[in-house]
């Protein structure tokens, strides 16, 4: 009944514990979820601020570059076609005329050249020369016609064009020396004189001279000055220069010419894709949505548009004169790369600014002024903190729940121990009552017999009196045990050690039980040598302990009727050893023998009266004297209980 009541209490207690824990866990999980949402909002907010700041900073940087270039151009230190820019990120600056991009090499407008070359009477002589040369194969007439054209030429372009035709037909007529002389003259004129394809005329002459393996050094030097001074070259010019340099590299007679030509080739090859891209840009410009007429540098209307495979950033700008407009192209990588440098970029920015490519869209766009540019934030930057917080919350929660459950476990363990103790106590009460009742009954019975008017014969009388004395002693021992345990519980147990002869105490104990042993037919083999030194021990407590062991040996001997009592000294200890050949004790019970009220729960034991206090006292006595109780036992074979006491007092 009582234990059922206890069990219900335990269950209620556990429910009272689990419920709040579950509520706690639920609340914790909700808090974690809320915290995650809040963290995401925080990150989005931070990113928004960062994006705004990046937009401002980047626009400032770009407009500053634009302003610098325009200042250089308007101050007279630069020309649009010069191909020399203040900022190394600038790829191209081209003028805008009527909404059309005029590329830097187009300054000698093809149209003008074409008009000049078709002006009469110059064009008539050229036309006649070509008819004679190509239709009639009349080279002499052709030479005459081209010669007239040379004489009539009013512009260097006309003169160069006529000389190139004259040189060609002279070579065809076998007058090579005269032909070369004409080519040399054209080769020497300014590279600013171009044909309608914007190709400098001297390059045509250079090609012919190189074909004839003539003037290689002069041609190489000429190409050098053209590349160095001439600024922007049209794509056709660049390709022609590249071919001429390749010819010099392969067929150059002089090694210095060859190596100079290869040095020149690098920049030319690099310039070709840029001019190609500029050509495409010229075509695409109207569709880019850039403002024309252009806003002034730094104006709020300024826009920068990413363009092309090489990722240029394109913008338009007006000169301070308010008339000239230009297009400016920057290499996006060169402008954006420093943004990753924490020394350049405002501290704390963790994103990467890049041109948005088709398909992906994971970044945050930088707005209308910088269309197509986005800031990509590393995935982990914002969520890391949130994840860390979540983990910490989780751990804290786990800790709280674990502590709660650990506390519950401790309480449960205590309650269980109490329950067990309560069980043992009630068992104890019933065994003590039983133990008291048995001797009291026999004492009373024999005393009553002796009291009758017709007493038994003297031998029987002595027997009855022996039984009465024996049972009284048993009662005394039992009460002594109970009193001693209660003293131990209250911490009032006092031992009074004094040098004691163990043999003497052992004999006293044997004497006290002699009657019972004899009655029950036990043979007690006593081996108590006198030479064992005196031991500092409380003699009464020791006697009580030996009596407890001896009565146990008798109680648990089963069918066996032989007990050994030995005294010996070993390693500075005196040992009192009691061996029986009785029922023995299982290994798992050995550890609990000295627990208060503990009795080995076997069916054989159930019929043996006992309180479970005897060994508790023996163990306490041994330990209190600096010694110990050792037990060896085999089930069915018997047990040996040994009290080890130090020969020298510890204190
Ligand atoms: P009890 O009054 O029950 O004998 P003890 O404290 O003296 O109490 O012994 C505790 C238990 O140890 C006993 O109930 C018994 O089961 C076991 N025990 C003690 N001595 C022996 C022994 N010599 N042989 C077998 N079992 C023993």
How far is it, in rounded angstroms, from Cα 607 to Cα 434? 11
Distance 501 CA to ligand 1 centre (A): 27
* 516 CB near ligand 1 (under 6 Å): no
How confident is the model at residue 108, as a pLDDT? Answer: 60
Which of 599, 602, 606, 616 has most ligand 1 atoms within 8 Å of its beta carbon, as the pocket-test mutant? 599
Q: What is the mean pLDDT of residues 627-650?
A: 92
DSSP state of 214: -
Residue 585 CB less than 6 A away from ligand 1: yes
Pocket-testing residue among 524, 603, 615, ligand 1, by greatest number of atoms within 8 A of Cβ: 615
Using the mean position of ligand 1's atoms as its centre, give its distance from the Cα of residue 611 in Å: 9
CA 552 – ligand 1 centroid, Å: 6
- In angstroms, the CA 563 to CA 551 distance is 11
CA–CA dist 121, 276 (Å, integer): 37
Residue 38 CA, ligand 1 centroid: distance in Å: 68
Question: Are the C-beta atoms of 638 and 584 separated by less than 8 Å?
Answer: yes
599 lines ligand 1 (CB under 6 A): yes
Q: Which of 9-23, 428-442, 488-502 has the highest mean pLDDT?
A: 488-502
The separation between CA 128 and the C-alpha centre of its own chain, rounded to angstroms, equals 84
pLDDT band at 618 (very low <50, low <70, confident <90, very high): very high
Give the model's pLDDT for residue 644.
97
Pocket mutation for ligand 1, best pick of 477, 579, 610 (most atoms within 8 Å of C-beta): 610
Q: Whose CA is nearest to atom 18 of ligand 1?
A: 552
Name which residue sits closest to atom 2 of ligand 1, judged by CA: 610
402 vs 640, more confident: 640
Atom 14 (ligand 1): residue with closest C-alpha? 599
Mutation probe of ligand 1 site: the residue of 438, 477, 479, 552 with most atoms within 8 A of C-beta: 552
**pLDDT above 90 for 349:** no
CB atoms within 10 A of CB 49: 11
Give the model confidence (pLDDT) of 196-207 as tens digits: 888 889 999 999
Comparing 475 with 18, the larger pLDDT belongs to 475
Q: Which residues is 629 bridged to in the sheet?
A: 643
Instruction: Give the confidence band of 531 by pLDDT, cuts at 50, 70, 90.
Output: confident
Q: Are 128 and 144 in contact (CB under 8 A)?
A: no
Computed over every residue of the chain, the mean pLDDT equals 87
User: 466-471: long-range contacts at Cβ-Cβ below 8 A with a sequence spacing of 24 or more?
Assistant: 466/515, 467/442, 467/443, 467/515, 467/519, 468/442, 468/443, 469/515, 470/515, 470/516, 470/519, 471/438, 471/439, 471/440, 471/442, 471/443
Lowest mean pLDDT among 183-187, 258-262, 331-335, 355-359: 355-359
Please state, as a whole number, how many other Cβ atoms lie within 10 Å of the Cβ of residue 583. 22
**Cβ contacts of 306 within 8 Å, gap of 6 or more:** 312, 313, 314, 332, 355, 356, 371, 372, 373
Q: Which atom of ligand 1 is found nearest the CA of 584?
A: 25
Ligand 1 and 106: CB distance under 6 A:
no
Structure tokens at 468: 């009465």
Backbone angles phi, psi at 300, to 5 degrees: -65, -15
Ligand 1 pocket check for 639: Cβ under 6 Å: yes
Q: Is 556 in the pocket of ligand 1 (CB under 6 A)?
A: yes
Distance 612 CA to ligand 1 centre (A): 7
Q: Is the Cβ atom of 614 under 6 angstroms away from ligand 1? A: yes
For residue 641, the ligand 1 atom closest to its alpha carbon is: 23
The ligand 1 atom nearest the CA atom of 578: 23
pLDDT of residue 41: 86
Least confident of 33-47, 315-329, 500-514, 597-611: 33-47
For residue range 88-115, list pLDDT tens digits in order: 899 999 998 888 898 888 866 677 888 8
> What is the predicted pLDDT for the residue at 201?
93
pLDDT of 549 over the 70 cut: yes
- Torsion angle, alpha carbons of 6, 12, 14, 15, to 10: 170
Compute, in angstroms, the gap from residue 599 CA to the centroid of ligand 1.
6
User: Of 290-304, 537-551, 621-635, where does mean pLDDT reach its minimum?
Assistant: 290-304
Please choose, from the candidates 308, 311, 385, 316, the residue with its C-alpha nearest in 3D space to the C-alpha of residue 353.
Answer: 311
d(CA 625, CA 619): 10
Q: What is the mean pLDDT of residues 497-501?
A: 94
Cα–Cα distance for residue pair 297/317, rounded to 1 Å: 6
Q: For residue 275, what are its two tokens?
A: 């001019």
pLDDT for 573 equals 95
Instruction: Name the most confidently modeled range: 20-34, 347-361, 482-496.
Output: 482-496
**Structure confidence at residue 50 as a pLDDT band (50, 70, 90):** confident
- pLDDT recorded at residue 347: 47
480 CB less than 6 Å from ligand 1?
A: no
CB 605 less than 6 A from any atom of ligand 1: yes
Atom 19 in ligand 1: which residue has the minimum CA distance?
552
Share of the chain above pLDDT 90, in %: 44
% residues pLDDT > 70 (the chain) = 93
Give the residue-averaged pLDDT of 569-595. 95
Higher pLDDT, 45 or 133: 133
Closest CA to 186 of 218, 213, 217: 218
Task: Say what the alpha-carbon torsion angle 444, 450, 452, 453 is, to the nearest 10 degrees.
Answer: -170
Peptide bond into 121 cis (omega under 30): yes
Mutation choice for ligand 1 from 593, 611, 632, CB with most ligand atoms inside 8 A: 593
Report whether residue 617 contacts ligand 1, using a CB cutoff of 6 Å.
no
Q: Considering Cα of 465, then 467, then 472, then 473, what sign does the dihedral take? A: positive
Q: How much distance in Å is there from the Cα of 508 to the middle of ligand 1?
A: 22
Q: Which tens digits make up the pLDDT trace of 258-313? A: 999 999 999 899 889 889 999 999 999 988 888 778 788 878 788 999 998 768 99
What is d(CA 145, CA 169) in angstroms, rounded to the nearest whole number?
Answer: 11
Distance 189 CA to ligand 1 centre (A): 131
Cβ 611 under 6 angstroms from ligand 1: yes
Give the Cα separation of 489 and 544 in Å (integer): 18
**φ, ψ (nearest 5 deg) of residue 39:** -65, -40
Bridge pairing between strands 325-331 and 100-102: unpaired
Average pLDDT of 215-222?
A: 94
Asked if the model's pLDDT at residue 3 lies above 60, the reply is: no
Residue nearest to atom 7 of ligand 1 (CA): 614
Report whether residue 615 contacts ligand 1, using a CB cutoff of 6 Å.
yes
Say yes or no: CB of residue 619 within 6 Å of ligand 1. Answer: no
With CA atoms as reference, report the closest residue to 631 among 606, 604, 594, 595: 594
Please, what sign has the CA dihedral across residues 360, 313, 110, 268?
Answer: negative
Ligand 1 center to 317 CA (angstroms): 109
How confident is the model at residue 361, as a pLDDT? 64
CA distances from 562 to 88, 221, 292, 578, 630 (A): 113, 131, 125, 11, 20
- pLDDT value, residue 343: 62
**Helix-helix angle 201-211:156-172, to 10 degrees:** 20
Residue 636 has what pLDDT?
93
The closest-lying atom of ligand 1 relative to the alpha carbon of residue 548 is: 7
1 Cα: distance to centroid of ligand 1 (angstroms): 28
Identify the residue whose tokens are 């010819």: 247
Q: What is the chain's percent helix, strand, coil content, to nearest 5?
A: 60, 15, 30
Question: Does position 354 have pLDDT exceeding 80, yes or no?
Answer: no
From the CA of 605, give the closest atom in ligand 1: 16
What band does 502 get if pLDDT is binned at 50, 70 and 90?
very high
Report, as an integer, the average pLDDT of 13-41: 80
Does the pLDDT at position 572 exceed 70? yes
Q: Is 191 in the pocket of ligand 1 (CB under 6 A)?
A: no
Q: Can you state the angle between helices 235-251 and 201-211, rounded to 10 degrees? A: 20
What are 408-465's pLDDT values in tens digits? 888 888 888 888 788 777 777 877 787 788 788 889 988 988 888 677 788 888 888 8
**Average pLDDT of the residues in 534-556:** 94
Cβ atoms of 510 and 481 within 8 Å: the answer is no
Residue 232: its pLDDT value, please?
Answer: 84
pLDDT band at 122 (very low <50, low <70, confident <90, very high): very high
DSSP bridge pairs for 100: 97
Highest mean pLDDT among 3-12, 194-203, 536-545: 536-545
Can you read off the two tokens belonging to residue 31? 């808090």
Q: Is 369 in the pocket of ligand 1 (CB under 6 A)?
A: no
């Amino acid at each position: 009944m009582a234990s059922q009541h206890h069990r219900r209490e335990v269950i209620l207690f556990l429910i009272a514990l689990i419920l709040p824990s579950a509520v706690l866990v639920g609340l914790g999980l909700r808090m974690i979820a809320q915290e995650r949402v809040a963290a995401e909002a925080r990150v989005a907010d931070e990113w928004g601020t960062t994006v705004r700041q990046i937009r401002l900073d980047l626009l400032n940087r770009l407009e500053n570059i634009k302003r610098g270039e325009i200042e250089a151009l308007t101050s007279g230190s630069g020309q649009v076609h010069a191909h020399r820019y203040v900022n190394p990120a600038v790829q191209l600056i081209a003028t805008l005329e009527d909404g059309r991009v005029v590329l830097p090499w187009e300054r000698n407008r093809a149209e003008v050249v074409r008009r000049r070359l078709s002006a009469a009477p110059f064009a008539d002589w050229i036309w006649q020369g070509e008819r004679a040369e190509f239709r009639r194969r009349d080279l002499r007439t052709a030479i005459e016609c081209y010669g007239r054209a040379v004489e009539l030429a009013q512009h260097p372009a006309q003169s160069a064009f006529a000389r190139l035709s004259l040189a060609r037909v002279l070579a065809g007529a076998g007058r090579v020396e005269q032909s070369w002389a004409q080519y040399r003259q054209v080769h020497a004129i300014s590279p600013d004189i171009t044909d309608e394809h914007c190709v400098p005329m001297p390059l045509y002459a250079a090609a012919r001279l190189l074909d004839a393996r003539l003037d290689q050094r002069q041609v190489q030097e000429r190409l050098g000055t053209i590349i160095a001074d001439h600024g922007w070259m049209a794509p056709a010019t660049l390709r022609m220069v590249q071919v001429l340099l390749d010819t010099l590299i392969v067929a150059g007679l002089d090694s210095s010419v060859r190596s100079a030509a290869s040095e020149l080739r690098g920049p030319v090859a690099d310039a070709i894709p840029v001019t190609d891209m500029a050509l495409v840009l010229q075509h695409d410009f109207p569709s880019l949505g850039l403002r024309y007429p252009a806003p002034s540098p730094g104006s709020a209307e300024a826009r920068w548009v990413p363009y092309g495979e090489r990722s240029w950033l394109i913008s338009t700008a007006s000169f301070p004169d308010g008339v000239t407009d230009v297009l400016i192209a920057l290499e996006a990588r060169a402008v954006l790369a420093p943004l990753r440098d924490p020394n350049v970029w405002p501290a704390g920015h963790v994103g990467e600014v890049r041109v948005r490519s088709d398909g992906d869209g994971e970044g945050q766009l930088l707005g209308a002024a910088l269309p197509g540019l986005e800031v990509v934030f590393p995935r982990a930057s914002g969520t890391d903190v949130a994840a860390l917080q979540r983990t910490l919350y989780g751990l804290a929660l786990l800790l709280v729940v674990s502590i709660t459950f650990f506390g519950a476990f401790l309480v449960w363990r205590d309650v269980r121990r109490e329950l067990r103790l309560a069980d043992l106590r009630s068992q104890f009460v019933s065994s003590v009552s039983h133990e008291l009742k048995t001797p009291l009954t026999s004492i009373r019975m024999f005393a009553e017999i002796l009291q009758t008017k017709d007493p038994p014969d003297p031998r029987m009388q002595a027997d009855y009196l022996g039984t009465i004395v024996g049972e009284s002693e048993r009662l005394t021992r039992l009460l002594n045990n109970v009193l001693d345990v209660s003293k131990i519980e209250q911490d009032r147990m006092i031992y009074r050690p004094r040098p004691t002869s163990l043999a003497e105490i052992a004999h006293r104990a044997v004497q006290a039980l002699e009657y019972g042993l004899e009655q029950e037919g036990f043979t007690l083999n006593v081996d108590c040598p006198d030479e064992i030194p005196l031991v500092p021990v409380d003699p009464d407590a020791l006697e009580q302990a030996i009596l407890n062991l001896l009565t146990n040996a008798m109680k648990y001997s089963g069918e066996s009727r032989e007990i050994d009592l030995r005294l010996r000294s070993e390693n500075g200890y005196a040992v009192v050893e009691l061996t029986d050949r009785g029922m023995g004790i299982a290994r798992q019970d050995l550890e609990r023998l000295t627990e208060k009220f503990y009795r080995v729960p076997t069916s054989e034991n159930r019929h043996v009266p006992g309180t479970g206090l005897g060994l508790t006292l023996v163990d306490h006595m041994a330990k209190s004297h600096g010694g110990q109780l050792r037990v060896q036992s085999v089930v069915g074979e018997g047990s040996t209980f040994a009290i080890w006491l130090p020969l020298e007092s510890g204190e």
